[in-house]
Amino acid sequence: NSQPTASVGTTAGGQPNTSGGLDQPVKIGYLPILDASPLLIAHAQKLYEAEGLAAEQPVLFRSWAAIVEAFLARQVNVVHLLSPVTVWLRYGRQLPGKIVAWNHTDGSALTVQPEINQVEDLGGQTVAVPFWYSIHNVVLQQLLTQAGLTVVRKAENETIAPNEVNLVVLPPPEMVSALANKSIAGYIVAEPFNAAGETSKAGKVLRFTGDVWRNHACCVVFLHEDDITQRPQWTQGVVNAIVKSQHWMRDHRSEAAQILAKENGSYTPHPEAVLQKVLTGFDSAAYAKQGAIQHPEWAAQRIDFQPFPFPSYTEELVRLLQQTQVEGETAFLKQLNPTEVARDLVDDSFVKQALQQVGGPQAFGIPESLLREETFKAQRSLSFLG
Amino acid sequence: MPDSLTRPSQQRLRLAIPLPLWGVLASVLLWWLATTPVLHSSLVLHDFSPERAFAATLQLLTSGAIAPHIWASLRRVFVGLATATILGIPLGLLVGLSRPIEQSTSVLFQFVRMISPLSWMPIAVMAFGIGDMPVYFLLTIAAIWPLMLSTAAGVAAVDRRWLLLSRSLCATRGETVRKIIVPAIAPHILTGLRLAIGIIWIVLVPAEMLGVRAGLGYYILDTRDRLAYSELVAVILIIGLIGYLLDTGFRAASRAWHHEG
Amino acid sequence: MPDSLTRPSQQRLRLAIPLPLWGVLASVLLWWLATTPVLHSSLVLHDFSPERAFAATLQLLTSGAIAPHIWASLRRVFVGLATATILGIPLGLLVGLSRPIEQSTSVLFQFVRMISPLSWMPIAVMAFGIGDMPVYFLLTIAAIWPLMLSTAAGVAAVDRRWLLLSRSLCATRGETVRKIIVPAIAPHILTGLRLAIGIIWIVLVPAEMLGVRAGLGYYILDTRDRLAYSELVAVILIIGLIGYLLDTGFRAASRAWHHEG
Amino acid sequence: MTTEPRSFFSHTAAISPLPTQSYASEASPALMVRGLGKQYVTPKRRLTVFDGIDLDVQPGELVCLLGPSGCGKSSLLLTIAGLQSADRGDVWVEGQAIRSPHPSIGLMFQEAALLPWLTVQQNIAVGLQLRHMPRLSRPALRSRIDQALLSVGLQDFRYSYPHQLSGGMAQRVAIARTIARQPRLLLMDEPFSALDAITRLEMQQLLLNIIAQQHCAVLLVTHDIDEALLLSDRILLMGRNPGHIYQSWRVTAAQPRLRHTQDLMTLRAEILAALSDVMAEPAAMTV
Amino acid sequence: MTTEPRSFFSHTAAISPLPTQSYASEASPALMVRGLGKQYVTPKRRLTVFDGIDLDVQPGELVCLLGPSGCGKSSLLLTIAGLQSADRGDVWVEGQAIRSPHPSIGLMFQEAALLPWLTVQQNIAVGLQLRHMPRLSRPALRSRIDQALLSVGLQDFRYSYPHQLSGGMAQRVAIARTIARQPRLLLMDEPFSALDAITRLEMQQLLLNIIAQQHCAVLLVTHDIDEALLLSDRILLMGRNPGHIYQSWRVTAAQPRLRHTQDLMTLRAEILAALSDVMAEPAAMTV
Ligand SMILES: Nc1ncnc2c1ncn2[C@@H]1O[C@H](COP(=O)(O)OP(=O)(O)OP(=O)(O)O)[C@@H](O)[C@H]1O
Ligand SMILES: Nc1ncnc2c1ncn2[C@@H]1O[C@H](COP(=O)(O)OP(=O)(O)OP(=O)(O)O)[C@@H](O)[C@H]1O
Ligand SMILES: [Mg+2]
Ligand SMILES: [Mg+2]
């Protein structure tokens, strides 16, 4: 029933939509990681239908490239993307799409060999990232530079100086094997691969990204720009459903894990135990003891859900991206003005409206003003180090 | 000495365990030695061990969880192989028989066949959307080359006396192809089919990345995503088993052509 | 009528543009019609158009940015092909010549060859880490089968009279293999090589996922990740060109064996 | 063995441009060849295999072609059959100029050229089930094959595969395959070379019977002078370097010739002498 | 043509268990075959191709094997050469029991069996460059090949490939390949069947010279009674269903036999009669 069309042009048929475009089915594209859960839970709970939308079975993809390709080919129209990817898409590639909401916050970690105890120990080693345009790459490079290490991208036979860290891109499933094989010193990636690394005793979590950049977004909900402008009602419905789903998940983490698990449906391939561990079994005290959490006062969860796309985050993201090494053409990044990007890339009007339906910002514990300061602390701020 | 050379007509002394089993047993033993928890400490490694893999296979098969995946993949393999055969063999015949056609297409074909299915993917999605269609496309485009090349090589190797015979009997082009060339190259076509089925299984895994909901390739990717390596090995075993059965079928067909026995 | 059948010795009238070019031109035209910005409005589609692809190719080649990738991949292709040849041809000979060896290994081989390189990946990384080694492993294990199967099929097709001749001359096993079988199956081995190189390019793309820093497969994945589709097509063109040149080399070698002209 | 008058053969001059024009002149000859020439071009050299060949075969006539090994007999037969193009000259079959194989020609190669994946009877059937042949009903086909097998004495081997046959048996299958098509012009390249004396006599008799019944024309290459003497209406001797018709004889003795072997001895000696002369000719002319 | 006394052949009894025991008794025979039997088993049937074969060939002796097409001559030769296993019976070569090919046997197949990817001279060289052969220096190898090519008259074709040869030329290359190895026992299956009369005489003379020089033994299958009469010291006639030695003759006429053709005529007639008898024997015994 999905029509193979290849146009990124205007509405199918070209008629102005009196119905606000409610006739268009919601076609979700997702990766089998927990980042996708708000979209999937909304589907499982029939929240799209509740908004008067038709929703198709969400489509599973295996790589960021594939999901973007399907999005561009209009095979799917609601996707979650890494926040740096959206910057790259809109400004690097001039592809019209917008962020309408955050998907989740935190939910990633830096996993390393057991004998590595601090970031400095990574000097002279290789670390894997999942994708150049990922929040993981951004955070990792910040951590490394602030620890006085130089980020390099070297060929295999070149030697890595003790003050350098070599980055490679690896598919997440291979990261655990590579860590077990000791051919990399660590990797930074989304859950549940960190949990898996711990379970297999191949490594341990060195830092949670949420402990470096407080309540940072990792994935965002991304829609076609013409859907936003020409199907405002449809867009509102989608955002409402996602926000309601996030709201529900905050209080029903365990049920969410059940719904998403491979045993109970066909959303993700992960066993319930792993999902439960990520969603509910967060022992922050233990992690504080091993140094993976250095800001216990932030009271961060391993993964959390909150829809509002703070402009300050977008601005900070653009600033950090401008300092980050990525593969390929990056000239466009230099041209970006963070404030302008925050205004242009993100359309928060739908979220604002949706928030009202669940009881306002405080339902998610965010300030009524919908403003915040970004907190990015690579090192423990105080003299805890002793 | 290679046995078929020295004693064509002599029967071999039968071992109590048939030979094919010996090979399998020996390799399982090696596999066990390389991965068993008894000898190794790495937890990840243990997942690859035969004991776990066999347990997982049994579990997958008895619980029936794998059945829909098997059917989905078999359907795709079949469609891909059929399409590739329908296109590849006539193409191979044309290329093998006609120098002008060979010359005008060879550059193109040599170009196209070097393209990895993974690089076709964006194009497949653009052209066919997601679901079964792009998978069929990727499988076909991967499997067509061994069929085409083997067929063309077979045509080149057809005994020239048989072609002379056919011409002397005033056979038409079609008759020459149907009655002389196709039977003469049957072994080549079967080799092509055997290779094609191998390539199809190879490509099935990346192809089933494309937004499908079931299939053995899909399942393999699933197990990789959740690091369920014993299940991964189990699915590999199941794929191997199916592939082996298909291959055995082809070889039986192949033997039917070798009357020389 | 297939030309080689009707007029074996007659020269063809030469067209002003040589035939291979016609084929290429026709397909570029079709490609252009399907993707050109002149006729289509989709922004993504434009990236696939020949004008952009050629521009990107030119840019990649003249800037020299692609050179290290080409060398890295060529090295891997060469190592993979060489290893696969060194293993695959003797294996094919053994399997083709000896029924006991064939019987004791065929189940195993049929199993193994159905395993996609993508499913080998976790194992390759466990065993070889990241970098060149697992890539060599994946390329070899993918390329070995066409070589082995073609060789074995060739051995099966060797004229029985030549084997009788060799035995009547009291040639040793080694002499029979070296002087009769290997020359007799040279065309089969060359077909196997041609297929192997195709498979190697196919597998190169997923294989270069494994933490290498350069290579055409790596570059393709990179372009996909960056949605740089015109560069993707450019790399495909470059891979196609290299593949075509290698293939032409093989076919020239192949013609040297076909004295029958 | 009875003796008959000596005048049973006439001697025509050698190397005549139109060797034998006017002996059965009303109908057009079954085969007419004029000025035929052929070169083989290999990377290493260019070999004129035969040149300036003129010959005719009338319906109901059997002409034998003798000549030293490698003089170009097989090449000439293949060229007449249209299987390889001539470089100059023309071939007419039943008055029709031909450059490609013609359905009323039956060619038997020097090698049996059986298809190894077909049984003996299938090998024979192949030639009968082509589009240009009149369609045969199943029983008609069956009876044609049966008859052909019976006449070459291989009725017990209809289900054997070629590799299960002896050399002589394979040759007989090739004969059966050719005659089953009932051609008007038979071109045979050493058809009986692998047969023992008795079987060979049987096959020769079979051939004569077929000519008598179907009034077809036969051009037969042989290296056996006795065979030529026993069978032919005319004998052509080919010279070499390049191949050419060196001399020709008409044999007029009545059949069965085995009765007249003594009488044919003189001709035999003459042919043998001519063959020696031909083989002593200077070589070369390899351009 | 001179005439000689009639007593030039002796007639031994047919189907004797040990056909010819004691005529050159001091050395062990070059070839001794006792009670040899062979079956071909195909899915469809089981054919006893020959059985109870006894024969001897002494060094310097040439024995011809005649018999109807398909009686098992080629199969017998392959079995003696050790290329296919016998089901019963034994073969001794120079006193040594053998079951597999022996370096001092030279076998020439009924088909030329040339390797198509090698030139004529390379085809000959293959048989000379094997491990069991004495190592030859380059010039020695070259001269052996040259000599072999010269003796079959193909010195101009050393660089030709097999598909560029005529049928008779290919057969001569096969002869050259066999004799270049200087075997002690030559097994030849219709070696001259594709040669014209003169070339055939030359090749036959070549064979006789080789026997005279190297004192080797030859077992030669032929379907040509005259050839057998011209060449052989003894003639064996094989019967069929299953193949057996039906009758044998000793030919004592001196060489060159062409001088004595008239005298051999009686023997010729006798052999022909025996051949007719053999072919009239009841068929079957196909188990
Ligand atoms: N490989 C085989 N399998 C089964 N039967 C065979 C095989 N080879 C030969 N035969 C049969 O054995 C018999 C003898 O064959 P062989 O070739 O020995 O005959 P021959 O005496 O050499 O005949 P010719 O003079 O025609 O060459 C024939 O009936 C033939 O059909
Ligand atoms: N395809 C070819 N390419 C090059 N030369 C060839 C080819 N076929 C035959 N010849 C040469 O042409 C000449 C004549 O060959 P042909 O086969 O016609 O002889 P033939 O008279 O039939 O001899 P035979 O009685 O030995 O069969 C030979 O010298 C041979 O080497
Ligand atoms: Mg010839
Ligand atoms: Mg024989």
- pLDDT, residue E253, reads 79
**Cα-to-centroid distance, E189 and ligand 3 (Å):** 19
Tell which of D105, D108, D126 to mutate to test the B interface (max B CBs under 10 Å).
Answer: D126
CATH number, position D253:
3.40.50.300
Confidence bin at C2 (pLDDT 50/70/90): very low
- Tokens representing residue C85 in the block: 């040849």
CB of C212 within 8 Å of any CB in chain A?
yes
Q: Is C164 on the interface with E (CB under 8 A)?
A: yes
E154 and E81: one domain? no
Look at residues B81, B109, B111, B86 and name the one whose alpha carbon lies nearest to residue B204: B81
Mean pLDDT of chain B: 83
Of A2, A66, A193, the CB nearest to B121: A66
Which of D53, D71, D111 for a ligand 2 pocket mutation test, highest count of atoms within 8 Å of Cβ?
A: D71
CA C216 to the chain's CA centroid: 15
pLDDT level of residue B110 (50, 70, 90 thresholds): confident
Do D145 and D260 sit in the same domain of this protein? no
Q: Which residues of D touch B183 (CB under 8 A)?
A: 115, 117-118
Cα–Cα distances (Å) from D209 to D176, D203, D205, D233, in that order, read 14, 10, 6, 14
ipTM score of the complex?
Answer: 0.81
- Point out the domain boundary residue: E182, E207, E240: E182
User: For residue D104, how far is its CA from the centre of ligand 2 (angstroms)?
Assistant: 25
Same domain, E150 and E272: no
Per-position DSSP letters for B117-185, written without gaps between them: HHHHHHHHHHHH-SSHHHHHHHHHHHHHHHHHHHHHHHHHHS-HHHHHHHHHTT--HHHIIIIIIHHHT
> Mutating which of C33, C45, C97, C107 best tests the B interface, going by the most B Cβ atoms within 10 A?
C107
Q: Quick one: which atom of ligand 2 is closest to the CA of D47?
A: 5
> Average pLDDT for residues B149-175, to the nearest whole number?
90
| In the predicted structure, residue E108 carries a pLDDT above the cut 60 | yes
Tokens 């001539």 -> residue? D86
Indicate the pLDDT class of residue C17, thresholds 50, 70 and 90. Answer: low
- Is the previous residue joined to E68 through a cis bond, with omega within 30 degrees of 0? no
Strand E185-189 and strand D217-221: pairing? unpaired
Same domain, D46 and D173: no
Phi/psi region, residue A128 (left: phi>0; alpha: psi -120 to 50; beta: rest), is beta
Q: In this predicted structure, what is the pLDDT of residue A156?
A: 67
Find, in chain E, the residue whose alpha carbon is nearest to that of C259: E117
pLDDT of residue D174: 95
pLDDT in tens, B42-90: 777 787 888 888 999 998 889 888 898 999 999 999 999 999 999 999 9
- Contact check, Cβ <8 Å, C7/D85: yes
Quick: pLDDT tens for A290-312. 777 887 777 777 788 888 999 99
Interface membership of B131 toward A (CB under 8 Å): yes
Query: How many other C-beta atoms can be found within 10 angstroms of the C-beta atom of residue E269?
Result: 11
Of the pLDDT bands very low, low, confident and very high (cuts 50, 70, 90), residue A380 is low
Asked if A142 and A102 touch (Cβ cutoff 8 Å), the reply is no
The whole-number pLDDT of residue C140 equals 93
Name the 3-class secondary structure at E36. Answer: strand
Query: Hey, are the CB atoms on B9 and E43 less than 8 Å from each other?
Result: no
* Angle in degrees, CA B179, C181, B164, rounded to 5: 30
Does D130 reach chain B within 8 Å, measured CB to CB?
yes
Query: Which residues does chain B have within 8 Å of residue A3's beta carbon, measured at their own beta carbons?
Result: 129
Nearest to B59 by CA among B231, B204, B220, B256: B231
Cα E244 to ligand 4 centroid, rounded to whole Å: 15
Please work out, in degrees rounded to the nearest 5, the angle formed at the alpha carbon of residue E108 by the alpha carbons of D220 and B184: 65
Residue range E242-266: mean pLDDT, rounded: 82
Per-residue pLDDT band for B15 (boundaries 50, 70, 90) equals: very low
Residue D7 tokens read as 């005048």
Residue D69, chain E, CB below 8 Å: the answer is yes
Structure tokens belonging to residue E287? 């188990």
- Would you call C171 an interface residue with chain B, using a CB distance cutoff of 8 Å? no
> Among all residues of chain E, which has the CA nearest to that of B160?
E163
Integer Cα distance of A228 and A223 in angstroms: 7
Residues E134 and E230 in one domain: no
D186 at interface of B, judged by CB pairs closer than 8 A: no
Pick the residue whose CA is nearest to atom 28 on ligand 1.
E70
Contact E67, E237 (CB under 8 A): yes
Question: What is the structure's pLDDT at A379?
Answer: 65
- Please tell me if residue C163 touches chain E, with a CB cutoff of 8 Å: no
- Give the pLDDT score at E17: 37
Residue D278: name the closest of D255, D253, D235, D247 by CA: D247
> E57 has which bridge partners?
E31
Question: CB-based contact (8 Å) between C9 and chain E?
Answer: no
Q: Is there an atom of ligand 1 within 6 Å of D165 CB?
A: yes
pLDDT above 70 for D281: yes
On average, the pLDDT of chain D sits at 84
Q: What is the pLDDT of residues E32-85, one digit of tens each?
A: 999 999 999 887 788 899 999 999 999 999 999 999 988 999 999 999 999 999
Is pLDDT of B255 > 50? yes
In this predicted structure, what is the pLDDT of residue E198?
A: 87
For residue B235, the one-letter residue type is V
Does B236 reach chain A within 8 Å, measured CB to CB?
no
Q: How many helices (H) and strands (E) does chain C have?
A: 14, 0
- pLDDT top residue among C224 and E182: E182
pLDDT digits (tens, 9 = 90+) for D215-251: 999 999 999 888 999 899 999 999 988 889 998 999 8
pLDDT given at position D58: 92
Residue ranges of alpha helices (H) inside chain E are 73-80, 120-126, 138-151, 167-180, 197-214, 225-231, 261-280
- Does the pTM exceed 0.90? no
Helix axes B216-225, C117-128, angle to 10 degrees: 30
User: Same domain, yes or no, for E193 and E272?
Assistant: yes
Distance CA A148, CA D69 (A): 91
Q: What mean pLDDT is predicted for residues C170-181?
A: 91
Residues of A in contact with B43 (CB under 8 A): 180, 200-202
pLDDT-based confidence at A242, cuts 50/70/90?
A: very high
Q: Of C105, C202, C220, which has the smallest distance from its Cβ to B23's Cβ?
A: C105
pLDDT (average), residues E161-177:
93
Q: Within a 10 A sphere around the Cβ of A345, how many other Cβ atoms?
A: 24
Interface residue A290 vs chain B (CB under 8 A): no
State the burial class of residue C125 (Cβ atoms within 10 Å of its Cβ: 0-12, 13-18, 19+): buried
Does ligand 2 lie within 6 Å of residue D73's CB atom?
A: yes
- Same domain for E154 and E126, yes or no, is yes
How does pLDDT run across C105-125, given as a tens digit for each residue? 888 888 888 888 778 887 888
CA pair distance D230, D203, nearest whole angstrom: 12
D86 pLDDT above the threshold of 70: yes
Q: Which amino acid residue places its CA nearest to atom 14 of ligand 1?
A: E72
For the Cβ of E164 lying below 6 angstroms from any atom of ligand 2, the answer is yes
Evaluate the CA torsion angle A65, A71, A77, A83 in order and state its sign: positive
D211, pLDDT greater than 60: yes
Per-residue pLDDT tens for E113-165? 899 999 999 999 999 988 888 888 999 999 999 999 999 999 989 999 999 99
Cα B173 to middle of ligand 3, angstroms:
27
Residue A198 is encoded by which pair of tokens? 């711990």
Chain D residue at shortest CA distance from B172 = D131
Same domain, D81 and D209: yes
Whether there are 3 or more C-beta pairs closer than 8 Å between D and A is no
Note whether E74 and E93 are same-domain residues. yes
What is the three-class DSSP state of E236? strand
Give yes or no: residues E198 and E70 share one domain.
yes
pLDDT at C222: 80
Q: How far is CA C221 from the centre of its chain?
A: 20
- Contact: A70, B211; criterion CB under 8 Å: yes
Q: How many Cβ pairs within 8 Å bridge chains C and E?
A: 53
User: Does E47 sit in the ligand 1 pocket, CB within 6 Å?
Assistant: yes
Residues in chain C within 8 Å Cβ distance of B121: 224
Cβ-based contacts of B10 with chain E (< 8 Å):
85
- The answer on pLDDT for A273 being more than 60 is yes
Summarised one tens digit per residue, pLDDT across range A40-93 is 999 998 999 998 889 888 888 888 888 888 888 888 899 999 999 899 888 887
Distance, in Å, from the CA atom of C86 to the CA atom of E54, rounded to the nearest integer, reads: 50
| Calculated CA dihedral for residues C63, C68, C73, C79, nearest 10 degrees | 150
Residue A33 or residue A101, greater confidence: A101
For E239, how many CA atoms within 13 A lie in the half-sphere containing its CB? 23
How many domains would you assign to chain E?
A: 2
Which residue's alpha carbon is at the smallest distance from atom 4 of ligand 2? Answer: E164
For residue A313 the two structure tokens come to 């985050």
Answer yes or no: is pLDDT of B5 > 50.
no
E167 touches D at CB < 8 Å? yes
- Arithmetic mean of pLDDT, B170-187: 90
Give the distance from residue B162's alpha carbon to the nearest chain D alpha carbon, in angstroms: 7
Contacts of A196 in chain B (CB under 8 A): 226-227
Mean pLDDT of E174-197: 92
D168 Cβ closer than 6 Å to some ligand 1 atom: yes
Is the pLDDT confidence value at C260 over 60?
Answer: no
| Percent of the residues in chain D that have a pLDDT greater than 90, as a whole number | 52
Instruction: Choose one of D121, D148, D182: the last residue of a domain.
Output: D182
- Which chain C residue shows the shortest CA-CA distance from E178? C169
Same-domain status, E209 and E92: yes
Q: What pLDDT was estimated at residue B12?
A: 45
Q: If we measure between CA atoms, which residue out of D202, D212, D243 comes closest to residue D59?
A: D212
Tell me the residues of chain A between 334 and 363 that have a Cβ less than 8 Å away from chain C. Answer: none
Q: Which residues of chain D are within 8 Å of residue E193 when distances are taken between CB atoms?
A: 193-194
* Alpha carbon of E71 to ligand 1 centroid (Å): 7
> What's the burial of D96, exposed, middle or buried (CB within 10 Å: 0-12/13-18/19+)?
exposed
Of A19-23, A239-243, C150-154, E272-276, minimum mean pLDDT range = A19-23
Identify whether residues E90 and E193 lie together within a single domain. yes
Q: Give the model confidence (pLDDT) of C38-54 as tens digits.
A: 777 776 777 788 888 89
pLDDT tens, position by position, A199-239: 878 888 888 888 888 888 888 999 999 889 988 899 999 99
Domain boundary (D159, D182, D205) is at D182
DSSP secondary structure letter of residue A45? T
C-alpha E247 – ligand 1 centre gap (Å): 20
Domain that residue E143 falls in: 113-182
